[in-house]
Amino acid sequence: MSQENYYQWGHKRRFNTFSDYIRMRFGSRVQKLTIDAGFTCPNRDGSKGRGGCTYCNNNAFNPSYCEPKRSISDQIELGIEFHQKRYSKANSFLAYFQAYSNTYGELSILKKKYSEALKNDNVVGIVIGTRPDCVDNEILDYLAELNEKTYLTLEFGIESCYDETLLKINRGHDFKTTQLAFEESRKRGIRTGGHMIIGLPGESKEMILREASILSELKVDQLKFHQLQYVKGTQMAKDFLKNPNEYTEFELMEYLGLMVEFIEKLKPEIVIERIAGETVREYNMRESWGLRYDRVLSEFEKLLEQKDSWQGKYFKKLKNG
Ligand code: SF4
């Protein structure tokens, strides 16, 4: 592929940003509004496993208004109020079913919960976060139907492309299951997102960079990246304290340097929603970088500029892809 520059794909910035995608799709800013709809997860209730993924503590990501004891409608009202205080121009929202596995339940219950969220006039679409092993044909067929009526993204936790890592972090499914979930969603025209954790135990820099090529072959429309964080109350935080040498802790610039190399190999068409993660400060067991996400992003873009780098600069299709 030509390496002229990033304009060749119509990108205004050096990577394919979510904010540009949203503006193109909706013509204005649209804010994601997190909901905790009271789902659980098969990796916690015993049907797949107990205790969950070793890094998981959902409370660390939920904003204060987001509590399952409140109705979905109330969470949306409070969420809108919260966002309008921060960004006065926020008028359109995507209801984001984020906590736990939001397709894990009877179809009739899923339908009820999604339609409650879509009732609010300020909600212009829905984002559903789930595990790749929590969708079947019945659910996907229904989501394809819903997708005809509203904007919809189905977001899967990928976390790693390596089965040995997935085993280590107690995910309870393999990468083949992930690939299948993306393929089945794409077949039905459902827009998909994926969540990745960078720096999981046992993954070398080479392994991480190879994931950029593997993800480029996946039927995924947008990706979010989080650096591995040690969240209080998780099994991973305990393991880290016992064997710190087996775990990675990125300095900010080290992480951003790695992500520059990563996105150089990533397919240019994939939208990047986040380059790094934030947790609520009191949940972080280690010193965090002490920067808000917008500052992290601006450091990342400065680095891309300095290195004259961009998403897809070295993108190559895998030989047997
Ligand atoms: S990360 Fe998701 S799948 Fe894993 S235990 Fe937590 S809620 Fe369940």
- Nearest CA to 109 out of 178, 46, 158, 37 is that of 37
Cα separation, 233 vs 279, in Å, equals 13
Rg (CA), the chain: 19
Per-residue confidence band for 12, with pLDDT thresholds at 50, 70 and 90: confident
Alpha carbons within 13 angstroms on the beta-carbon side of residue 97 total 32
Residue pLDDT, tens place only, 33-44: 999 999 999 999
* Residue with CA at minimum distance from ligand 1 atom 4: 53
How do residues 188-222 score in pLDDT, each as one tens digit?
A: 999 999 999 999 999 999 999 999 999 999 999 99
CA 228 vs CA 34, 77, 142, 209: distances in Å? 21, 32, 34, 15
- Check residue 4 and give its pLDDT: 66
* Residue 302 CA: distances (Å) to CA of 225, 293, 299, 306, 309: 18, 14, 5, 6, 10
Q: Whose CA is closest to atom 5 on ligand 1?
A: 52
Residue range 228-245, pLDDT digits in tens:
999 888 999 999 999 988
**Ligand 1 centroid, distance to 301 Cα (angstroms):** 31
Give per-residue pLDDT as tens, 137-178.
Answer: 999 999 999 999 999 999 999 999 999 999 999 999 999 999
**Pairing between strand 271-274 and 222-227?**
parallel
Beta strands in the chain (DSSP E): 31-35, 93-97, 123-130, 151-159, 191-198, 222-227, 271-274
Q: Are residues 311 and 16 in contact, defined by beta-carbon separation less than 8 angstroms?
A: yes
Contact 268, 314 (CB under 8 A): no
Nearest ligand 1 atom to alpha carbon 171: 4
Nearest protein Cα to ligand 1, atom 8: 41
Report CA(308)–ligand 1 centroid distance (Å). 37
- Global pTM reads 0.94
Q: Is residue 132 very low, low, confident or very high in pLDDT (cuts 50, 70, 90)?
A: very high
* 228 CA to centre of ligand 1 in angstroms: 15
Q: Which residue has the higher pLDDT, 64 or 196?
A: 196
What does the alpha-carbon distance between residue 19 and residue 273 come to, in Å, rounded to a whole number?
8
Which residue owns the Cα nearest ligand 1 atom 1? 56
158 alpha carbon – ligand 1 mean position (Å): 11
The pLDDT score that the predictor gives to residue 283 is 77
pLDDT on residue 1: 45
**204 C-alpha to center of ligand 1: Å?**
24
Specify the pairing of strand 191-198 against strand 93-97.
unpaired
Residue-wise pLDDT tens digits, 241-293: 999 888 888 999 999 999 999 999 999 999 999 999 986 677 787 778 888 99
Beta bridge partners of 198: 227
All domains of the chain, ordered by start, with CATH? 17-232+270-281 (3.20.20.70)
**Residue 46, Cβ density class (10 Å: 0-12 exposed, 13-18 middle, ≥19 buried):** exposed
pLDDT at position 85 is: 82
Task: Tell me how far the alpha carbon of residue 73 lies from the centroid of ligand 1, in angstroms.
Answer: 24
C-alpha dihedral sign at 80, 82, 87, 89: positive
Instruction: Tell me how far the alpha carbon of residue 220 lies from the centroid of ligand 1, in angstroms.
Output: 20
Taking 70 as the threshold, does the pLDDT of residue 61 lie above it? no
CA distance readout (Å), 158 to 269, 272, 284: 18, 15, 22
Ligand 1 pocket at CB < 6 A: 41, 43-44, 52-53, 56, 58, 100-101, 131, 157
Query: 3-state SS of the chain: helix, strand, coil percent to 5?
Result: 40, 15, 45
Q: Which ligand 1 atom is nearest residue 159's CA?
A: 1
Nearest to 213 by CA among 146, 161, 137: 161
Q: pLDDT confidence of 86, banded at 50, 70, 90? A: confident
**Of residues 39, 41, 40, 43, the one with CA closest to residue 169:** 43
